[in-house]
């Protein structure tokens, strides 16, 4: 199987502050890969570097075998990579429906845009029933769902999620992770950074442990759940 995303020897820094050091990672179609690690390990920087939002980078980033390392973020979006950042990015004074239209601003075919909007709202019934409501009035979990739904307007093949459960009530955390599984079942590749290690690994196919800007080890998610190193450092087990 050819990977959707292939990262080779990726290094990145903010000025003199070196963050990523030779990262290697593949993400396959219909696969959820979760990156875990302590704060400051470089997890969020990894996603930002893939989306060309870091000042300095070296290495190679390939999408379906095509080198996209030098593409600007808008070009990456058009090529098939979507990025949902950790901090909320909805337009609070626009309605849910208007937010979705903003997500599809690069889609010139109106019929296609309408079809994708319909599919996105079908995936998130809570948004469908409140499409005329201002996004700023939504709960944190509902805003996160809107952000994910908005990315689908470009029909991305890779969706990168940075801490999708952060600040959410337990019920909404479960709802967000269910949506991650649904997207995986639809064939999307998901690269996720998440601090809720136990819940994230339960919906993942593979997990990667990142330390000090490097990938220390990777394995099947189920095996990582039983790994003594992961259990001790990230699952709170003795």
Instruction: Specify burial of residue 232 (Cβ count, 10 A radius: 0-12, 13-18, 19+).
Output: exposed
The pLDDT value recorded for residue 68 is: 97
pLDDT at 74 over 80: yes
CATH value at residue 90 = 3.40.50.300
233 pLDDT above the threshold of 80: no
Helix, strand, or coil (residue 124)? coil
pLDDT in tens, 115-150: 888 888 888 888 988 888 999 999 888 999 899 999
150-162: pLDDT as tens digits: 999 989 999 999 9
Return the bridge partners of 193, or none.
35, 162
CA distance to 84, 109, 146, 151, per residue, from 99 (Å): 14, 18, 8, 10
Q: What is the pLDDT of residues 162-209, one digit of tens each?
A: 999 988 888 889 989 999 999 999 999 999 999 999 999 999 999 999
pLDDT score at 150: 92
User: What is the pLDDT at residue 236?
Assistant: 60
Domain extent for 145: 5-234
Mean pLDDT, range 3-12, rounded to an integer: 97
Asked if residue 81 has pLDDT above 70, the reply is yes
The count of structural domains within the chain is 1
pLDDT-derived band at 237 (thresholds 50, 70, 90) equals low
- Smallest CA-to-CA distance from 65 within 111, 143, 1 is with 1
Q: What percent of the chain stands above pLDDT 90?
A: 63
Q: Are 31 and 205 in contact (CB under 8 A)?
A: yes
Give the pLDDT score at 168.
86
Q: Considering the chain, what is the average pLDDT of its residues?
A: 91
* Residue 178 CA neighbour count, 13 Å, CB half: 9
């Amino acid at each position: 199987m050819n990977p959707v995303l292939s990262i080779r020897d990726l290094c990145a820094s903010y000025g003199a502050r070196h963050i990523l050091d030779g990262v290697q990672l593949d993400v396959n179609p219909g696969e959820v890969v979760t990156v875990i690690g302590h704060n400051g390990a470089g997890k969020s920087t990894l996603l930002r570097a893939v989306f060309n939002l870091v000042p300095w980078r070296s290495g190679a980033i390939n999408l379906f075998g095509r080198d996209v390392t030098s593409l600007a973020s808008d070009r990456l979006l058009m090529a098939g990579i979507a990025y949902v950042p950790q901090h909320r990015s909805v337009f609070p004074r626009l309605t849910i429906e208007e937010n979705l239209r903003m997500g599809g601003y690069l889609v010139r075919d109106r019929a296609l845009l309408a079809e994708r909007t319909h599919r996105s709202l079908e995936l998130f019934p809570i948004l469908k029933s409140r499409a005329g409501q201002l996004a700023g009035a939504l709960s944190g979990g509902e805003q996160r769902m809107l952000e994910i739904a908005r990315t689908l307007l470009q029909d991305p093949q890779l969706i990168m999620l940075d801490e999708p459960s952060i600040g959410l009530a337990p019920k909404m955390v479960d709802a967000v992770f269910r949506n991650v599984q649904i997207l995986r079942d639809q064939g999307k590749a998901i690269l996720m950074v998440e601090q809720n290690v136990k819940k994230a690994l339960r919906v993942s196919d593979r997990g990667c442990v990142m330390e000090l800007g490097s990938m220390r080890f990777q394995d099947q998610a189920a095996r990582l759940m039983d790994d003594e190193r992961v259990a001790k450092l990230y699952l709170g087990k003795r």
